[in-house]
Structure 1
Amino acid sequence: MRYLLSLLLCLLAGAAQAAPAKAYLTIIIDDLGQSTERDQRTLALPGPVTMAIMPDTPHATDFARQAHKAGKTVILHMPMDPATGAYAWHPGIALPELAQRLDAALNKVPYAAGVNNHMGSRMTSQREAMAWLMGELQRRHLLFVDSRTSAATVAAAEAQKIGLAHVSRDVFLDDVRTPEAITGQLRLGVEMAHKQGSAVLIGHPYPQTLQVLEREIPRLRSQGIELIRLQQMVAERSNQAMPGHGSHGRYSNR
């Protein structure tokens, strides 16, 4: 009997080791609102994929409403320097003008649960403006996603200082626009999620990206990955920096 009990315990331990640990993934698709065809294909992706909609696009408002009705999370993809246009934030612009541009952009993208930066390699390093933005988002009960288009970003650090609900991007899916490269980046995200418990991926509505996601999202569960809503990822991370963004849960650019 003792032998059988030991054997059973060994088998159970082996099964536990073989089973993949639960890990979480959030996928955000940027630059939406420009093309009805690409928007609709993105909207049809399986699972809780987040729709990041640019305010200065012809279909921004209509698509935000469609995405919300479809149960997707909508966020404002806010243009920041070096991005240009009527809504873009640039260093040197006074805070009242930045506030007006944020107001106008949010009006163009209804149902936005939060904001992430479009470009912004220069703007997200501006501490005063980022501190103001995080305070304003907190006042509006909106979350923030730091796209981390530059290692010099202080945006997430400023969000963390005031306890604003936020996350930071871990992997860009499609800097190289080939199915092979995008598949590799998705695999990197899966490995990262298993290693640190979660990963936030950002991609774009390129045909190659959508092709890979249409094929691979249904396979995530068999890899021990749960695709979750952005809001759940914020709760999962509890405003802590991941190892690639800082140490001991604090962002390096403080």
Structure 2
Amino acid sequence: MKKFALIFFPFLFFSFQITAKAETNEIKELKAAIIIDDFGGGTGGVRDFLEGDIPITAAVMPFTPTSKQHAEWAHKNGFEVMVHLPMEPKRGKRSWLGPKPITVDLSLKEVRKRVEEAIDSVPYAVGLNNHMGSLAVEDEKIVRTIVEVAKERKLFLIDSGTSPGTKFPEIAKELGVPLLKRDIFLDDISSSSHVRKQMVRLAKVTEIKGQGIAIGHVGVTGKVCSIGVFEAIEEFKRRNIKIVPVSQLFSEKMTNKNFPLY
């Protein structure tokens, strides 16, 4: 009898662990967001994404001739819109930033003015992420000004992850502004096969964390990015990962339907 109990009870315990784990996995819903930057800029991939059936989030460059057009096009077709705020990098051409970028030589008054004008130039924007900015995102005063405006305008923030020294996470947390950080760059190499591989990496990150965020681009790499993204979607279906607008990744933290807080 003693021998039977010794074998039987561990078996019961082992079975319970398997069942509990299976039930947990069934309840957990995996979500990934794909932010596509540089709408309002180049044309490569724009139509593919904005006329496609993948619920990307469109990050629109402000102050360009097509900023408003692309934001309205995205909104009309049911895509979420963000402001893709140009910020000064440590390396790179100034021309890559477009008009009215956030640079470290500006007064804080001018930073605020440019951020407000950028938001006004992109209709339907519900969030903001940085375009480049490896230098400016490390400036605490500049980042604080941006986060303050985001809070006033009830925008969430996505840190594009261009610098490990970014001040966005700590200041957003301090001021109570919802923020998430990019996990994967899709088109850092301009190849549709590379984009597909990066999409698989996004799927793996999502399975580990429960959610994941990737950033790709329209423009120069736009066509290869769109091809790679669309070709990888079957992999997400196979893994039961849902592609959602990036705001849905904040849904569990929302305490107010108008303004999600930590």
**What interval of TM-score do these two structures reach, taking the shorter chain for normalisation?**
0.7 to 0.9
1:1-254 to 2 correspondence within 5 Å? 13=19, 16=22, 22-36=29-43, 38-82=45-89, 84-205=97-218, 206-236=222-252
Q: Deviation digits for residues 120-141 of structure 1, max 9, x if unmatched?
A: 0000001111112111111111
Distance 1:52 1:214 in 2: 18
SS of the equivalent of 1:152 reads coil
Distance 2:68 2:182 in 1: 25
Distance 2:231 2:88 in 1: 34
Instruction: Specify every segment of 5 or more residues in structure 1 that has no aligned partner in the other structure, as ranges.
Output: 1-5, 239-254
Maintained 8 Å contact 1:144/1:165: yes
Shift of 1:217: 2.3
Distance 1:178 1:38 in 2: 13
SS of the equivalent of 1:220 reads helix
Distance 1:29 1:222 in 2: 23
What is the TM-score with the length of structure 1 in the denominator?
0.82
- Relative to structure 1, the CA distance from residue 87 to residue 154 in structure 2 (aligned partners, 3 Å threshold; closer, same or farther) is same
Distance 1:114 1:151 in 2: 21
Q: Supply the AA of the counterpart residue of 2:193.
A: E
What is the TM-score with the length of structure 2 in the denominator?
0.80
Distance 1:154 1:174 in 2: 25
Q: Supply the AA of the counterpart residue of 1:209.
A: C
Maintained 8 Å contact 1:46/1:217: no
Distance 1:158 1:179 in 2: 36
Distance 1:81 1:28 in 2: 20
Maintained 8 Å contact 1:137/1:143: yes
Identity of aligned residues (%): 29
Q: Supply the AA of the counterpart residue of 1:234.
A: F
Instruction: Specify every segment of 5 or more residues in structure 2 that has no aligned partner in the other structure, as ranges.
Output: 1-11, 255-262
- Relative to structure 1, the CA distance from residue 207 to residue 94 in structure 2 (aligned partners, 3 Å threshold; closer, same or farther) is same
